[in-house]
Structure 1
Amino acid sequence: MIHRVIGQITCVASETRFTTQNRYDFLPGESITTEEEKCVYFIPFIDRWWNIFPCSERINYICEKFHDTVKPTYGSTCPEDFQVIIPLNETSAEVTWTPPTWEDNECVVSVDASHSPGYVIHMLEEERSTSVNITYTAHDRAGNPSAACSFTAKVSYCPEGMIPNIRFSSCYGKSTSSVTYQEGGTFCQDVYGGYLAIISCQEENDWILNNIVSLENAWIGYDDIQTEGTFLWSAGNITDEESTFENWHINKPDHGTDQHCTVIIWKSGKWNNTNCKLKAIAICEKHYSQPISVCSSADITTGKM
């Protein structure tokens, strides 16, 4: 549905309405005497004066057609594409933007818009994201159409490149190339606003393995950099940082002097501690709220092959 926008009229050339107060060629002494006398007619045989006349009267008329061919423009005011991230337990979001402004050599008289600021975008149950294309077109009084101002408003559960898991109220993604452990943490923060993944139970471990990890080992945010032999989650004040779940491969971790960081092994989902300067894919997580369904206590155990 196209909406005709009212109140966004921009005139560059001034337009004067004819009234008895700002007239130039009205018949001397002419004034509006009745409610009907609100139209003007031309008197060619009396020195080309104008006169006020009831609009209901039938007389000859004069037509004018604009020869203006200059189209309205919006300059740099057309909004950019944008994205709104919503919590995993919500299904809609209100999106807003600043409409474009228009310039014309004469006067912009109408603006058509496909949507108005404050439009609510709804997500279907099976969707991870949805988007709406928004278009504005202006016309001047000669009927010239502007080029379309088009942009996209997108509503997503996760930043671009991440997959949501409602059970854990988190989004998960991975780096686009192999990186060191430190580089992985920086990537997760800079690209997704998240951190190297924290794994709280076997179910979460298996889901990450099946949905995020590909054909190579990948960093998770578990290390003993601070104290040799004491592995901690590296994600600062994240709620699950004290999770006791571990899923070490047999005979791991081995407490070598330079094997302080943890990868998840792509073939088995088990964990291996290794040199932090080696390169692997980084598994990223962005947490939104307390999990809707937490790991059961039976899952919070130490796993061994």
Structure 2
Amino acid sequence: MAAHAEGRATIGQADNVFLSAHQELQRDLAVLVLQALVATGQLPPSSAVLDAMAGTGIRAIRYALEVPGVSSVANDLDAAAHAAIVANIAENGVSDRVQATQLDAVECLWTHRRRFHAIDLDPFGTCAALLPSAIASVALGGVVCATDTDMHTLLGKNGPSHAECFRRYGALPLTSAAFGKELAIRIVLGRAASIAADCNRSVTPLLSTAFDFFTRVIFRVQEAGDAPRVPLAVVDQCTHCAHFNVHELGAAVTCVAQCPICNHALQVVGKNASRSEGHRHAMCSGVVRSGRGRCKSALC
């Protein structure tokens, strides 16, 4: 069994348990965000964190080792993954701070409803099916950290992906644009905002990134009315040039069928989260300070 060192953790990497070395950056970011939130009192010093699909358990172990006062649960339904988690917990000496469970991710979220101050979702593929349970079950004021490796769908790379994006996220993607990955982030955040509204909650985006083949969104969940709502919008993008407009839902707009610059047709995409609400710049500053700048280039 090969050893993998990351942050303060060293784990055994079995061939039959998945661990993506490419995702180390987003694991670093999640650790830094929780460090910043705990240090500034935005999360309690004895926060409980759930890694709902833990794989080797490295994320939950890193939280326990690197975020002061945090305890975590590393959950995975797969028997081989669960065995690896148990072994890695013992190897890193965190048995008093990390618990291993073997449940379906959704079952785990609802079994421990409102217990966790932070929930981490890192599925293989889309996070869309897990967002409703995570948003509804996280403790009020807590955060959800969600990875989505469904970039092919979020970018609308082919015809079927448009219908799939609408089915999963309630939004139409943009096939080609310089801001395609930003729109992918905003589609996921828009879906999260809609889900939160369904359960009388609201979300405040804290930090997001799109890197390689994944998006990573981190947002706070509060009771509806306790935070400004995330405005939703659609975007019309010229099919020929770079011209685009953002139209917030509910706002009065003048609809046109052709680009005012080059007269080509417009493609309407979304819905997606519009202008940034919350404390993005303060969060980025806190993360950079906490990480001594090592993840600065990944922040948006």
Q: Normalising by the residue count of structure 1, what TM-score does the alignment of the two structures yield?
A: 0.25
Q: Greater helix percent: which structure? A: 2
Q: Which has the higher contact order (CA 8 A, sep 6+)?
A: 1
The structure with the larger Rg is: 1
